[in-house]
Amino acid sequence: MSPEREIIEFDVLVVGAGPAGLAVAYHLRQLLDRSGRKDASIAVLEKGKEIGAHIISGAVFDPRGIDELMPDWLTKGAPVESKVEEDHVYYLTRKWKLGLPIIPPPLRNAGNYIISLNKFVLWLAELVEDSDVDIFAGFSGAGLLIENGQVVGVRTGDKGVDRQGQAKGNYEPGIDIRAKLTVLAEGARGSLTKQLVERFGLDVGRNPQVYSVGIKEVWEVPGSDEHRGRVVHTMGFPLASKEFGGGFIYNMDRDQVSLGLVVGLDYQDPLLDPHRKFQQFKEHPLVRSAIEGGRLVAYGAKAIPEGGYWAMPQCYFAGGMIVGDSGGLLNSMRLKGIHLALKSGMLAAEAALEAMRSNDYSASRMQRFEVLVKDSWIKDELWKVRNFHQGFNKGLWRGLLHAGLQMLTRGRGLSNRYASEPGHKRMCMRPEFPASYDPNSEVKFDQMLTFDKLTDVYNSGTAHEEDQPVHLVVLEPDLCHTRCTEEYGNPCQYFCPAAVYSMETNEDGQSRLAIAASNCVHCKTCDIMDPYQIINWIPPEGGGGPDYKGL
Ligand code: SF4
């Protein structure tokens, strides 16, 4: 007989222990305590095996959100790598760099801090746990519990299921975690948020969300402390002028350097490989000189929501709210979202308190959250950059012109709302696009400066239980070796930064898609960029995935 499904109940359930989710829990606990509701229960669900394991960001941190959440955050021991001491912006060609004599205001970071978000959430989670919030790490949300059109909690994934979907000896059914309010704080392209947006039509009338993928490494470079607090942003090489994105180098504490490349997931070249572009980025003299003599210590990748104000889904629903990256809260001009995540978490906590007081969790009551967001500095900040990403649809140079115009017109530019389309629709079919490189050519990774994907995955600490259902569900696998090979050349082999997908030929000469799911670093690029939208990323068994440290 299969074990019975356990049911547990909380007043408020937060899915995701990133900055937004932890801000909800921290602020709501305080509000409840102050209003004499100490008995109200809050739980946070986190799919990483421990808090922070799946958290990665650049990150130059604007303290505006944390200053409001916890004015004494620095004296409470928040881990900070450095105050920003210098800003530099360069345009790169393959060999040369051209420094901007004046740093554009959105890229000025005086008063900001360089942090490891991964360390930051670990610190914040301790304070949240100390304030009597239950945090369940290692549990993924497999599905939403919906009754009479209202979300009433989350069912966690089953544990102990084999690759064929059969229960193993250690089988444990997922738990039904029921809650009066469910707050989704899953990060970009959250799997529950995706289900919810589709089911409730929360994106109707909005621009489609568009994303970038950020690929990052941390290096230990002896002597680099001398430049602690230096922030470098780049445009140009290795991206073509039609490709959105740029690079960053941040000098952290203890001789550590954080560097990465952000690549817009709305590129045209079906063979574009963001990981390969990142390796080319490191070969540029500017980047090479920042890490020369050092060693790679950590690697990771994540999707970033870039669509801005017009692409934010409706952030409330019957029984809950959507916060942080899941709600598309990112200032893509500044490439910053942590402060917005923290603030949205605080506002969600305030809306939650009002709903609990009236014991009303209907959509019309939860709409209060949207009102709070629109009355806050989140709206002010995002409104001023509402057309930023869309301005780059025709490439870097026109994008910079649009950005300048938008800065002069409080975000308007040439029209109040620029048109947008999902990034995967911009990918060209192979016959229409001259190959940017020969995908069959041998790539020379020297394993000193440049690394192949598998070496990088090793440095992400990624591990999954091997004997479990594949968590990358290809809805029409026959399409891969027929239409996709012919039309796009199987771009999943290139856009995945963790070498999960490859085309293999069997003894009969038939080709088929092979999926090394255990390499997956949970960046969601495949779910976003697949041209046929037939890859569905679902959470693997709880606890599986990267084990990010210091990212
Ligand atoms: Fe990212 Fe998908 Fe590759 Fe996993 S399989 S690392 S989610 S692109």
Pocket test for ligand 1, best of 523, 527, 533 (most atoms within 8 A of CB): 523
Average pLDDT, the chain: 95
DSSP, residue by residue, 214-227 = EEEEEEE-TTGGGG
- Could you give the CA distance from residue 413 to residue 391 in angstroms, rounded to a whole number? 9
* DSSP for residue 480: I
Provide the pairing of β-strand 211-220 with 256-264.
Answer: antiparallel
How far, in Å, CA of 297 to CA of 31, rounded? 40
Q: Are strands 42-46 and 134-137 parallel, antiparallel or unpaired?
A: parallel
pLDDT in tens, 41-89: 999 999 999 999 999 998 999 999 999 999 999 999 999 999 999 999 9
Residues recorded for the chain: 551
The model's pLDDT over 135-189, given as tens digits with 9 standing for 90+, comes to: 999 999 999 999 999 999 999 999 999 999 999 999 999 999 999 999 999 999 9
User: In Å, how far are 472, 490, 492, 513, 537 from 481, measured between CA atoms?
Assistant: 17, 8, 12, 7, 20
Does any ligand 1 atom lie closer than 6 A to the CB of residue 474? no
183 token code pair: 């707050």
Cα–Cα distance between 401 and 405 in angstroms, integer?
6
Contact of 2 with 167, CB cutoff 8 Å: yes
Whether the bond between 59 and the residue before it is cis, its omega within 30 degrees of 0, is yes
**Cα 90 off chain centre by:** 25
Predicted local confidence at residue 263, as pLDDT: 98
Q: At what angle do helices 363-374 and 338-358 cross, to 10 degrees?
A: 140
Span from the CA of 520 to the centroid of ligand 1 (angstroms): 5
What is the C-alpha separation between 22 and 15, in angstroms, rounded?
10
Neighbour count for residue 288 (Cβ, 10 Å): 12
Q: In b/e form, how buried is each residue of 485-523, taking b as 16+ CB within 10 angstroms?
A: eebbbbbbbbbbbbbbbebeeeeeeeeebebbbbbbbbb
pLDDT tens for the 551 residues of the chain, in order: 467 899 999 999 999 999 999 999 999 999 999 999 999 999 999 999 999 999 999 899 999 999 999 999 999 999 999 999 999 999 999 999 999 999 999 999 999 999 999 999 999 999 999 999 999 999 999 999 999 999 999 999 999 999 999 999 999 999 999 999 999 999 999 999 999 999 999 999 999 999 999 999 999 999 999 999 999 999 999 999 999 999 999 999 999 999 999 999 999 999 999 999 999 999 999 999 999 999 999 999 999 999 999 999 999 999 999 999 999 999 999 999 999 999 999 999 999 999 999 999 999 999 999 999 999 999 999 999 999 999 999 999 999 999 999 999 999 999 999 999 999 999 999 878 766 555 545 568 999 999 999 999 999 999 999 999 999 999 999 999 999 999 999 999 999 999 999 999 988 888 999 999 999 999 999 999 999 999 999 999 978 999 999 99
Atom of ligand 1 nearest to the CA of 524: 7
Q: How far is CA 427 from the centre of its chain?
A: 21
C-beta separation of 18 from 185 below 8 A = yes
537 lines ligand 1 (CB under 6 A): yes
Percent of the chain with pLDDT over 70: 98
**Helix, strand or coil for residue 26?**
helix
**CA 438 to CA 24: how far, in whole Å?**
48
Q: Whose CA is nearest to atom 8 of ligand 1?
A: 496
Q: Are strands 167-172 and 159-161 parallel, antiparallel or unpaired?
A: antiparallel
Dump strand ranges (E) for 73-156: 82-83, 86-92, 97-99, 113-114, 134-137, 141-147, 150-156
Residue 475 CA, ligand 1 centroid: distance in Å: 16
d(CA 215, CA 498): 10
Place of tokens 């209003």: 35
Q: Ligand 1 centroid vs 299 CA: distance in angstroms?
A: 14
For ligand 1, atom 7, the nearest C-alpha belongs to 524
Residue 297: C-alpha distances to residues 60, 61, 218, 255 (Å): 20, 22, 6, 12
Q: How far is the centre of ligand 1, averaged over its atoms, from the C-alpha of 220 (Å)?
A: 26
What is the distance between the alpha carbons of residues 233 and 291, in angstroms, rounded to a whole number? Answer: 15
Q: Residue whose CA is closest, atom 5 of ligand 1?
A: 520
Q: In the numeric block, which tokens belong to residue 253?
A: 């504490």
Q: Is any atom of ligand 1 closer than 6 Å to the C-beta of 462?
A: no
What does the longest C-alpha to C-alpha distance in the chain come to? Answer: 72
Report the nearest-CA residue for atom 3 of ligand 1: 496
Q: Using most ligand atoms within 8 A of CB, pick from 470, 471, 526 the residue to mutate for ligand 1.
A: 526
535 lines ligand 1 (CB under 6 A): no
Task: Dump the DSSP string for 177-217.
Answer: EEEEEEEE---TT-HHHHHHHHHHTTTTTSPPP-EEEEEEE
Q: Is 481 exposed, middle or buried (0-12, 13-18, 19+ CB in 10 A)?
A: middle
The 10 Å Cβ neighbour count of residue 547 is 17
Q: Which of 456, 472, 528 to mutate to test the pocket of ligand 1 (most atoms within 8 A of CB)?
A: 472
**Tokens found for residue 346:** 């605080």
Nearest-angstrom CA–CA distance, 63 and 73? 10
Which residue from 194, 106, 139 is spatially nearest to 13, judged by alpha carbons? 139
Can you spell out the DSSP letters for 347-407? Answer: HHHHHHHHHHHHT--SHHHHHHHHHHHHTSHHHHHHHTTTTTGGGGTT-HHHHHHHHHHHH
